[in-house]
Structure 1
Amino acid sequence: MMSEQTDNVELKGRISAVSVLDLRRMKSMEELSNITAIEAVGTILLSDSFQGLIASIPMKAVGSIISLPEGSKVNQIGGTLKVGGEFLENGSVDGSDILLVTGELILTSPPKKFGYKQLIVVGQLFIPRGSESILTPCITQSSGEIIPYDHHNSRFFMGQGQFGREFFECLKKPVVMMLNGTFTIESDVSKDLLLEKVTEIVLSGTLMADKKLVPILTALAVEQLGGSILDSSIFDDVTAYG
């Protein structure tokens, strides 16, 4: 299990299982040489003056290495945060000039401006479609995903769950389904009901449904972030012969 780095982490020896490893407080090559190995780390932050030196440390299963201007202040968004676009407009109260997204940041409304000098995305940033022109000029580094979506009447689901006929019939308006995890469309959902109630799907994970619905779900899925839409009967067969 990974943990967020805290200021009292001792930066020497073998460092592992940390989601964000902040090396910006290191001031010399001697300090850096005290680290013998870095393993299973999601993101490494370091001052740009040390960018070429970190290659001397043996590393395994490291996600991203982000170099930052010396003395810069960073507002890091880890985990999952769902906010309106105004969150990005005024910057951070501590004067941070860089917004770093290492988790999932979901904007539910378009920002009118960007209140930071730089935007760095190593996680996932969901932005209302049409906001690209405001945010993309500020992106200085990105190894993550920036996903535009229709923010009008969107519904977010995380983890796992099932959607049956009654769920869709209760929806007063067609929705955008944002799915992160493992989900199933039950067999009592018809093609017509699905097309009536869902305008688009953004999928990160696995969506299972009756074979007749798979082509429709695939067409509705405007973004599949490493996800899969599968015939649920495959898993029934596995269970039967298990």
Structure 2
Amino acid sequence: MVFDAEQERFEREAEEQARRAAREAEREAREAARDARARRRGSYHNLGVLDLSWAKTLEDLAHIQNIRNVGVLRVPEHLYEFVSSLPMHNVGIIERVPSGERMEISGRSRVSGDFLAAGDPDAILQVTGQLFVLPPLERIGFKELHVTGQLFLPRGSESVLTGKLRRLTGQILYYRSDVGVPRLFTDGEEIGREFLELLPEPAPFIIMGSVTLEEDISVDLLRSKVAEITLAGKLYAPRHLLSVLQVLTVDKAGAILATQKGPDAETVDPWERAED
């Protein structure tokens, strides 16, 4: 009897899961159809990036009636005035894109300095998101560099951008590349004592997103294994590490926070001088 009851319960749960999956599939199909109808009517909405840079003439964009809730809107430079005159609501950035060949890197990516050096001299490199460039970076072969987001470059390569960086919406951050192998940490990762002890040599740390240092890390261990920190996001740490993190964090676009969560979490600014 117990077995029969359990079997019946499992069957009911399986049927309910199947019904939920079917309802979800129907909902997604309705949303896809709605979005397709909206585009046919010329309505673009709820998009992180809307790329219209492919358009050549006004006729290519004549169907657009309104644009709303778009983070980044890319438009051809020669059609910028026309697109700007369209009905818009809640559009974050309108980005002019010159005519010519383009290469795009989006999301969170990593490339070598040699990749940038070998770029097509007739093409524009468009970076959207976070791009980490491994050393050495001695030149940029692309005609132009457009960045919407964050670009991480080895320190000492600042002059390489001269004449190449034409558009920047975001930040360029530099990291130390003359000691150890750069260690890249992304959203949600945790760094503990055991990891640091296993590092063969000091290394620069690059933080992208929200990363946590665990309670078992000592000040001496952190200083001995972390050459420098480049921070783009939030770095959570126990209070006994906050002072040394102020020293180690050289380039920063974000915040260092005490491990405690909640409205009273403490933000520490590495460049803020203590009051006498």
- The TM-score, its normalising length taken from structure 1, stands at 0.83
Superposition RMSD in Å = 2.5
Choose the corresponding residue for 2:53, options 21, 24, 27.
24
1:101 positional shift: 0.5
Counterpart-to-counterpart distance in 1, 2:155 and 2:238: 30
Name which one, 1 or 2, has greater alpha-carbon Rg. Answer: 2
Contact 2:206 2:230 in 1 (8 A): yes
Counterpart-to-counterpart distance in 2, 1:144 and 1:220: 23
Counterpart in the other structure of 1:150: 176
Q: List alignment gaps of at least 5 residues for structure 1.
A: 1-8
Counterpart-to-counterpart distance in 2, 1:133 and 1:212: 38
1:160 counterpart SS class: coil
Distance change in 2, residues 1:228/1:118 (3 Å): same
1:16 positional shift: 2.1
The AA in structure 2 aligned to 1:198 is V
Counterpart-to-counterpart distance in 2, 1:128 and 1:108: 7
Matches within 5 A, 1:108-119: 108-119=134-145
1:196 positional shift: 1.0
1:172 positional shift: 1.2
Distance change in 2, residues 1:116/1:11 (3 Å): farther
Contact 1:41 1:61 in 2 (8 A): yes
Counterpart in the other structure of 2:133: 107
Counterpart in the other structure of 1:233: 260
* 1:205 is the counterpart of 2:233: yes
Counterpart-to-counterpart distance in 2, 1:19 and 1:197: 38
Q: List alignment gaps of at least 5 residues for structure 2.
A: 1-37, 266-276
* 1:133 is the counterpart of 2:133: no
Deviation string, structure 1 residues 35-68 (Cα, Å, up to 9, x no partner): 2222333332222221222221233343332223
1:233 counterpart SS class: coil
207-216 or 9-18, larger mean C-alpha shift: 9-18
Distance change in 2, residues 1:136/1:60 (3 Å): farther
1:54 counterpart SS class: helix
Counterpart in the other structure of 1:3: none
Counterpart-to-counterpart distance in 2, 1:231 and 1:113: 40
Counterpart in the other structure of 1:74: 102
Deviation string, structure 1 residues 2-39 (Cα, Å, up to 9, x no partner): xxxxxxx9575221233332223434445534322223
Deviation string, structure 1 residues 171-226 (Cα, Å, up to 9, x no partner): 1111111112222212221111111111111222222222121121122111222x
188-197 or 42-51, larger mean C-alpha shift: 42-51
1:122 counterpart SS class: strand
Counterpart in the other structure of 1:45: 74
Deviation string, structure 1 residues 116-135 (Cα, Å, up to 9, x no partner): 11111112111111111112
1:53 counterpart SS class: helix
Which one scores higher on RCO, CA 8 angstroms, separation ≥ 6?
A: 1
Contact 2:113 2:136 in 1 (8 A): yes
- The TM-score, its normalising length taken from structure 2, stands at 0.73
Contact 2:46 2:69 in 1 (8 A): yes
Counterpart in the other structure of 2:11: none
Contact 1:64 1:122 in 2 (8 A): no
Between the two proteins, the alignment pairs up a number of residues equal to 226
Contact 2:211 2:234 in 1 (8 A): yes
The AA in structure 2 aligned to 1:42 is G
* 1:169 is the counterpart of 2:197: yes
* 1:55 is the counterpart of 2:84: yes
Q: What is the identity percentage for the equivalent residue pairs of Structure 1 and Structure 2?
A: 38
2:257 counterpart SS class: strand
Counterpart in the other structure of 1:217: 245
